[in-house]
Chain A
Amino acid sequence: MIRATDLGCAHGGRQVLRDVELVLHPGKIVGLLGPNGSGKTTLISTLAGILPPAAGHVTHGKDRADVHAMSACERARRIACVPQRAETTFALRCCSVVLMGRWAHQRGWLSSDSAEDHELARSCMRQAGIESLWDRPVDQISGGELQRVLFARALAQEAKTLLLDEPTASMDLAGTVALFDLVRELALSGTSALVAVHDINLAALYCDHLYFLKDGRVAAQGPTRDVFDEQTLSHIFGTRVLVGPHPGTGAPQAHFVPGGGAFTPSGASSAPVRGGSGQR
């Protein structure tokens, strides 16, 4: 469980997040939605402990330990994070990248991999569907495959909290569904997950709870069925959105409207939207 209280964050002298309150409960998948530049990645980096907050604090677990005060190693055992992308300067093998997830658990001055580490890495790669990439250099795989490698690495950390930043951005449809199914499986066994997604329908299908970010603030939040409505979505994303039930599961799904344009709740088109993300 992660709890962010009164969180503010500045990035390069610019205030990116302010007054963010957020809770992740064990066994729940929480979706983080919002237009480009709304602060999703910054929020995830701050929750993951790699970006210091300008205000407020983030605590983890029942002991309410401050995420930014604990050692990096301790943090990596509690929280695993799948970044949006990774630089692959050198051609490490995929298995080496996945085994990096074991680093925080490894003792001994050589921090070498045990047979159990290899076994675990292999099963994580199997879960992520990339068992066959074991020996392949990371600079020779596709973007979607790299995201799965990073996901398998996060699994290998065996952390109770999972932060995912656009984990399926470069994946195909089947890969996306498989990964989200896996996240749901993990949540059923008590993991708490926060997923930043671009695809709001995907979020509606899988998430128990949604947070909407806009201009660095939480604009709306609540259980998916309560907040995923036309009014909220149209307001957040600045274009007209219709909501209807999913033909299979009945989950709410959003449909964009051609010519929906820059949406203003009052309908007064003369009022210019200053600093709105739709203008960038």
Chain B
Amino acid sequence: MDRQFSVTESRRKTRLMVLGGLLAVGSLASVFAGCLFGPLSIPAAQVAEHLGTLFGFNAGQSLDPAMGLVVNDIRLPRACLAWLAGASLAAAGAVFQGILQNPLADPFTIGVSTGAAFGASLAIFLGVASLPLWLGMGVLPLAAMAGAVLALAAVIALGRVAGRLRRETVVLAGIVVATFLSALISLLKSLDEEAVAGIVFWVMGSFQGRSWEHVAFAWPYMLFGGLAALVWAREIDLLSMGDSQARLLGLDVDRSRLKLLLAASLMTGAAVSVSGVIGFVGLVVPHLVRLIIGAEHRPLVLVSALAGGVVLIWSDVVARIILSGGQELPVGVITALLGGPFFCLLLRRRAGRASL
């Protein structure tokens, strides 16, 4: 019997490592693929050579510096940022679902994404866009992050019933706050007609025109939030069993949930602040990953992050090439087209299960 158990456990470990390894390799391949597509067609071999110069490889031939600029300073940071945002949103979604015990929860349903978008919209309304680039870029994401945290605070305040956070009321409060903030965003739009395009683009999400500075701003927050979620992943397991169970097992439920909510909204705020609201990545990816590796949250958060990065890079690629003539769609449109039907499927399956 003992041997059978150790075989089961080591087989599971191997499977996780193989999956993680595949996704890590897939992430690198996707970043490379993200550098291939765009209005300017550059052969893959040349893209590889340009990328090689970043690591000190020199092909010896004279490379076109304009193409080098396109590959290394436009497409590469964009792909990296898409990966980072996808990873953050997917990891945050896994955390939110676990601690709220709600398979339909993600940065949307608890209002954090819309809070961040409102912060950004308010900053645009107040004229941040007209500031010098370095200052505007410094302020806009900070405003988004402040909005995310404030929306979360409002949701927690509304969702607290008799001194306790309840999962139903948190989700309900999230919807209320998101709806209210969406209305405020619309109000800002109509007050300042010139900035409509900017706000719409921000709200639909896009990686257009993102540079290494955005990557540099966002990654420390994302890494910090991600590591916190991984370190506290066992607490998510306990919380996913419900409050009273977690309490019986020795967890300080309210404190644990609060710190995990903060970690997840830090990731969300950082992602929204550089890419706008991109929906459904945090919903779809953890679900698919759970089907493959099970619901234990440490591997779930890690694998979801890797998979989320890959998914968002490819969504961004599709958003770039689906329209002819060099126009691009907001990437949020692509993820919503993929995620909307998936959400309905989940809803129907849950309804079916509830009626049994």
Q: A residues touching B (Cβ–Cβ < 8 Å)?
A: 45, 48-50, 71-77, 80-81, 83, 86-93, 96-97, 100-101, 103-104, 109-112, 118, 122, 131, 134-135, 137, 153, 157
Contacts and interface: CB of A to CB of B under 8 A. Distances in A.
Nearest to B234: A111
Contacts of A96: 237, 296
A48 B241 contact: no
B252 A89 contact: no
Interface in B255-272: none
Interface stretch (B83-91, B192-200, B243-251): B243-251
A45 B244 contact: yes
Between B8, B238, B241, B294, the greatest number of chain A beta carbons within 10 A of the residue's beta carbon is seen for: B241
Contacts of B206: none
Nearest to B6: A118
Nearest to A156: B249
7 contacts: A71-B250, A75-B250, A80-B248, A87-B245, A89-B103, A90-B240, A101-B249
Contacts of B296: 92-93, 96
Contact of A104 (B102, B240, B244, B249): B249
Nearest to A101: B249
B5 interface: yes
Contact of B248 (A48, A89, A93, A122): A48
Contacts of B240: 89-90, 92
Contact of A89 (B101, B234, B238, B251): B101
| Chain B contact residues, majority secondary structure | helix
A63 B242 CA distance: 31
Interface string B223-249: 000000001001101101110110111
Contacts of A103: 234, 238, 249-251
B237 A76 contact: no
A86 B234 CA distance: 18
B242 A72 contact: no
B98 A90 contact: yes
Given A48-B248, A83-B248, A134 B8 contact: yes
B295 interface: yes
A101 B295 CA distance: 17
A86 B250 CA distance: 16
A112 B250 contact: no
Given A50-B247, A83-B245, A134 B5 contact: yes
B323 interface: no
A134 B101 CA distance: 23
Interface of B: 1, 5, 8-9, 12, 97-98, 101-103, 231, 234-235, 237-238, 240-242, 244-245, 247-253, 290, 294-296
A129 to B, nearest CB: 13
A110 B247 CA distance: 19
B231 A86 contact: no
B250 A73 contact: yes
A73 B244 CA distance: 13
B302 to A, nearest CB: 13
Nearest to B12: A135
Contacts of A50: 244, 247-248
The 6 tightest CB contacts between A and B, nearest first, are: A76-B250, A104-B250, A90-B295, A73-B250, A50-B247, A89-B101
A74 B101 CA distance: 25
Contacts of B290: 90-91
Contacts of B249: 76, 100-101, 103-104, 153, 157
B151 to A, nearest CB: 24
Contact of A72 (B9, B102, B251): B251
Contacts of A76: 248-250
Contact of A109 (B9, B231, B242): B231
Contacts of B248: 48, 50, 76, 80-81, 83
A179 B305 CA distance: 42
B52 to A, nearest CB: 38
Nearest to A82: B248
Contacts of A112: 234
A72 B251 CA distance: 6
A86 B251 contact: no
Contacts of A73: 250-252
A112 B5 CA distance: 18
Between B238, B250, B252, the greatest number of chain A beta carbons within 10 A of the residue's beta carbon is seen for: B250
Between B9, B102, B231, B248, the greatest number of chain A beta carbons within 10 A of the residue's beta carbon is seen for: B248
A110 B295 contact: no
Nearest to B4: A134
A71 B238 CA distance: 16
Given A86-B242, A92-B294, A97-B241, A135 B8 contact: yes
Given A76-B249, A81-B248, A83-B248, A92 B295 contact: yes
Contacts of A110: 231, 234
Contacts of B253: 72
B294 A87 contact: no
A163 to B, nearest CB: 9
A67 B44 CA distance: 67
A100 B244 contact: no
Given A72-B251, A91-B290, A103-B249, 5 more contacts: A50-B244, A50-B248, A76-B250, A80-B248, A90-B295
Given A71-B252, A90-B295, A93-B296, A100 B98 contact: no
